[in-house]
Amino acid sequence: MNFDITDEQRLLIDAVSRCLAEEASFTARQAVVRAHGWSPSVWSTLCDLGVPVAVFADTDGGLGGGAMELALIAQIGAAALAVEPITSVLIAHSVLARSAPAPLRQRWLERLRDTPAVLVPAFASTEATVRAEVDGAATVLNGRAAVVYHAPCADHLLVAAASAGAARADSLYLVPVNAAGLALQSYTTVDAQRAADLVLDGVRVGADDTVTTHDPASVDLAIDLGLLAVSAEALGSAERAVALTLEYLKTRQQFGGPIGRFQALQHRAVTCLARLEDLRTLVLLGAARFDGPTEARRTTLAALKVVAAETARHIGEEAVQLHGGMGVTEEMEISHHFRRLIATSIRYGARDEHLRAYAEARFATAQG
């Protein structure tokens, strides 16, 4: 299997990395978090680079990217501690690119050309927390959605709902944040990003804003895109945490020399590097297998999320430990990566949930 990055992917990576380095440095990020929670200016620049349309087919007017581009950009955003809705938008756009009817895709892409609109997913599992009922030509949504990342930044939400009689979410709808009957309770998450809890009380959605109905596979696909993206975020943040820690071990002086000369600390750093490479391999494998057989995709992504959660927690804790008391201060970048890693480890399901899913999938395959 070829994991090499193409020239086009490398150009996109370099452009996004430069943008975040120049406009969203750690110091600038801290000021943005205190003032507004995110930077529309940085988001506008990312839109100019084509980031939001990277996962749409070139025939639709996008950049022709797919699961690999989603993973690569999510990785870069997390390494830079970006608080802009990069990953959330790419997850939602990947769902539209793969599941939405052509007229809806075209209408949304036309809107993106006019303004840097923001669409984010309002789900993290197939649990039926929102119900959909048909009322004439419209669909009425009722229910709740918790911890919707970047909802306070969004213009539209991609809502997963369970149709009448369904035990789990099986339909997807576009809902404007100013829709009648929709209420948001906004707050800042532990990793300094913006999120909200949603209440939908009689929200009406027309046929033009219906992505899929009675199609559980489309919701499964949407969840899998989220799993790949947040695992890639864990990789990006872990990479940066390890780099910061190695630099600290080389420069922190104690007992007449750098603390990195102590073998016990070297062993701990090497363990972090080894776990980082395991996660990197699985992220690339998950992206490469995404458009293959469904069973292989689901099994790989379940394994990926388990490794991502374990690696995020291990590297986050080790990085703070190796920095000592300074590792938990607001002024140190490493403390923010620690919080990002811990939050990422439980998004789209915690380790134990996906370990069970992996075991069940492997057991079913063996029985088959």
- pLDDT of the residue at 279: 97
The CATH homologous superfamily of the domain defined by 217-367: Butyryl-CoA Dehydrogenase, subunit A, domain 3 (1.20.140.10)
90/180 Cα distance (integer angstroms): 26
16/65 Cα distance (integer angstroms): 15
- pLDDT of the residue at 361: 81
240/238 Cα distance (integer angstroms): 5
- pLDDT of the residue at 153: 94
| Tens digit of each residue's pLDDT (9 = 90 or more) over 239-265 | 999 999 999 999 888 888 888 788 999
- pLDDT of the residue at 367: 55
pTM score of the predicted model: 0.95
The CATH homologous superfamily of the domain defined by 121-214: Butyryl-CoA Dehydrogenase, subunit A, domain 2 (2.40.110.10)
- pLDDT of the residue at 45: 95
Give the residue ranges of the chain where pLDDT is below 70: 1-3, 365-368
214/171 Cα distance (integer angstroms): 6
| Cβ contact 169:127 at 8 Å | yes
- pLDDT of the residue at 3: 65
1/137 Cα distance (integer angstroms): 48
Q: What residue spans define the domains of the chain?
A: 7-117, 121-214, 217-367
CATH annotation of 7-117: 1.10.540.10
